[in-house]
Structure 1
């Protein structure tokens, strides 16, 4: 037993510890937010979620389990409890596995490098031995700082930079006392092979490798469908995001979707799409200059009109499974971000952005909501949790019980 009181300690938006009880409650709340199952009872489709422990990948996993009744495999990369607590994703995965068992869903969670062929082999073996040798859906939701090429051993590193020239933007930070400040930050442009490196990590190469690997093992079912989760975002953040190095990777991801869609359509009557999700507070998004300010202002404009990731992924699963029609844009992308990019909304956010200062920001953005959302990523600021009580931190990784 290793019970102790966990206090929130952070460096900027990065917290040093996670709260197991808070992480468990976050997962419970997400599950409760999912509408009733589309087809209750019976054996659900087999799904693989790569990046299942955080952000939109976590939402995809929970929405798939609770709404569609999926069974299958979640893959993620998390750290076990040691001197510090486990990562938040470690505790969220344990909580998701517990709910899956309670609801009779056969879901196995694997912890390791999704980019490596060893993980692909482990997943393939599980699909063959445990899930009837067929995969119906693959959701790809990976954000990573680096990737090792399984063929060459070369290590690629992704960077978050504009392309062509330096980029200066407003950004939101909090001082040591928690007071909000609006500052300007400048990011140097990509140089050398920054774009190629970022595309190698965050583009569609690994997604395609997963599909090819499983196809070569004859594990893809007729009608197999795969979706990679993506983001376009506001014109206010385009220079650092969609027009930057990450944007190049997203364009590569979308090109990969078109290639895979043609191939799967011919061989299996299947399909591949990218799903363009809307803004949310995630561990990845808070690292992007300007995104924290933008999301806080967006919440200030829309309030509860914002659709949380779990709600968006319910919509995606409904479309992928045919519970509602597949709604694609002219480039073949599922668009779950139309409410965010509505011109009226964007004009309102842009007006607030232009006048945002350290003095005015509390009137323009919902900073209480934003701050709580960041803390909830690590299991803090979760209603119903007594943070003065000791909690067990040594939580085991969920065993793949039959």
Structure 2
């Protein structure tokens, strides 16, 4: 097994390698941060499927489900294995750490690596539910953020884009130079053209979520009272033009429309529910790619400090609602709202004031840049307290194999 000293190498917010021990510690820290269960069911816990389980809110959903709700079941992600030249992706190492925590907690969790958009993986999951979990799936959490999707019926490949709709948009954004010094720049993003909106909706809308439900329902593995949630984001008016009112926003609107359709079907057939869960801001590998989001999130942390609610605590609240420990708290559009702390009027007013004042010279006083910079590095297992980065670490970590049921 290869061992070497790993140091962060990056191009902007994208890092070329990941640190296995740091990723393991990140997962352990999230586990400790998750609230203790209010009361777990006697015997085996509910059977759940988390799609997109290795990063961001999907990882938080997996860990919170295991600890807070006592779930067992299946977690799906798409990660790259280590090679002689490169480490595995960070999600690969986070998945290995998640498997260890699940085993220590006595939770039967099968972790699959593959293309969640494919019917082959959907059928493999259905087989596992039948053969390993008694043919009963109680919950499904959908958290997929991907740049491309191939339609299994037509073979058509779609690609998502991050663009405003109708006109170009200029916004402030935060970057760091080669020495790590912050800079506030204005960037312009051209408007969606041609079929950009349709392509983005095909990738990030509700089509694949609905296909998962259809495929599993056809196999007869959805339990009475089955519930499903797709994770989403609305965000601030400061980022609305590029996000909620842009191509990604069109995909999110499609996701919410899909939830309403699925909710009607599941209620009629199983007494079940389908909702979207609107989560609060966080530093994720997906969010750092969106112009303006890095600056906004740093300013938000500057306003809220430690009152910024981490994803694993948000998802613990979602599991409480999905499992019935707490009532579903829905807005007028039928969405679970876990972002009220972020969108409170006084918080948004304070962030907007700092946004207007943010320049390269002032941003260090307005945003929590040390926190933000460290959060970006932690996405790849670096800058994690308690990890000695001068010590060689084994990078050839195997994908976790489930214990015999």
Give TM-score, length-normalised by structure 2: 0.99
- The C-alpha deviation readout for 1:284-330, integer Å capped at 9, x for no partner, is 00000000000000000000010000010001001111111211000
- The C-alpha deviation readout for 1:27-60, integer Å capped at 9, x for no partner, is 0111111222233452100000000000000000
Corresponding residue number in structure 2 for 1:360 = 362
SS class of match (1:94)? helix
Corresponding residue number in structure 2 for 1:3 = 3
Corresponding residue number in structure 2 for 1:250 = 252
Q: 1:294 aligns with which of 278, 283, 296?
A: 296
Q: Tell whether the 8 Å contact from 2:72 to 2:108 is kept in structure 1 after alignment.
A: yes
Corresponding residue number in structure 1 for 2:214 = 212
SS class of match (2:354)? helix
Corresponding residue number in structure 2 for 1:74 = 75
SS class of match (2:284)? coil
Corresponding residue number in structure 1 for 2:44 = 43
SS class of match (2:81)? coil
Give runs of aligned pairs for residues 81-230 of structure 1, distance below 5 A.
81-82=82-83, 83-230=85-232
Corresponding residue number in structure 2 for 1:52 = 53
Q: Tell whether the 8 Å contact from 2:35 to 2:313 is kept in structure 1 after alignment.
A: no
- The C-alpha deviation readout for 1:217-250, integer Å capped at 9, x for no partner, is 0000000000000000000000000000000000
What RMSD, in angstroms, separates the aligned Cα atoms of the two structures?
Answer: 0.6
- In the alignment, the residues of structure 1 paired with residue 24 and residue 38 of structure 2 have an alpha-carbon distance, to the nearest angstrom, of 25
Q: 1:99: how far off?
A: 0.6
Q: 1:383 aligns with which of 377, 382, 385?
A: 385
SS class of match (1:48)? strand
SS class of match (2:184)? strand
- In the alignment, the residues of structure 1 paired with residue 371 and residue 36 of structure 2 have an alpha-carbon distance, to the nearest angstrom, of 27
In structure 1, runs of 5+ residues without a counterpart are none
- In the alignment, the residues of structure 1 paired with residue 167 and residue 399 of structure 2 have an alpha-carbon distance, to the nearest angstrom, of 45
Please tell me whether residue 24 in structure 1 is matched to residue 19 in structure 2: no
- In the alignment, the residues of structure 2 paired with residue 290 and residue 42 of structure 1 have an alpha-carbon distance, to the nearest angstrom, of 47
Give runs of aligned pairs for residues 218-367 of structure 1, distance below 5 A.
218-367=220-369
Give TM-score, length-normalised by structure 1: 0.99
- In the alignment, the residues of structure 2 paired with residue 32 and residue 343 of structure 1 have an alpha-carbon distance, to the nearest angstrom, of 31
Q: 2:400 aligns with which of 386, 398, 401?
A: 398
- In the alignment, the residues of structure 1 paired with residue 126 and residue 331 of structure 2 have an alpha-carbon distance, to the nearest angstrom, of 33
Corresponding residue number in structure 2 for 1:12 = 12
Count of residue pairs brought into register by the alignment: 402
- In the alignment, the residues of structure 2 paired with residue 101 and residue 290 of structure 1 have an alpha-carbon distance, to the nearest angstrom, of 40
In structure 2, runs of 5+ residues without a counterpart are none
- In the alignment, the residues of structure 2 paired with residue 251 and residue 36 of structure 1 have an alpha-carbon distance, to the nearest angstrom, of 34
SS class of match (1:242)? coil
- The C-alpha deviation readout for 1:332-352, integer Å capped at 9, x for no partner, is 000000010001000000000
Q: 1:177: how far off?
A: 0.6
Q: 1:86: how far off?
A: 0.3
Q: 1:282: how far off?
A: 0.1
Runs ≥4 residues deviating over 6 A? none
Corresponding residue number in structure 2 for 1:62 = 63
Q: 1:193: how far off?
A: 0.2
- In the alignment, the residues of structure 2 paired with residue 158 and residue 75 of structure 1 have an alpha-carbon distance, to the nearest angstrom, of 21
SS class of match (2:171)? strand
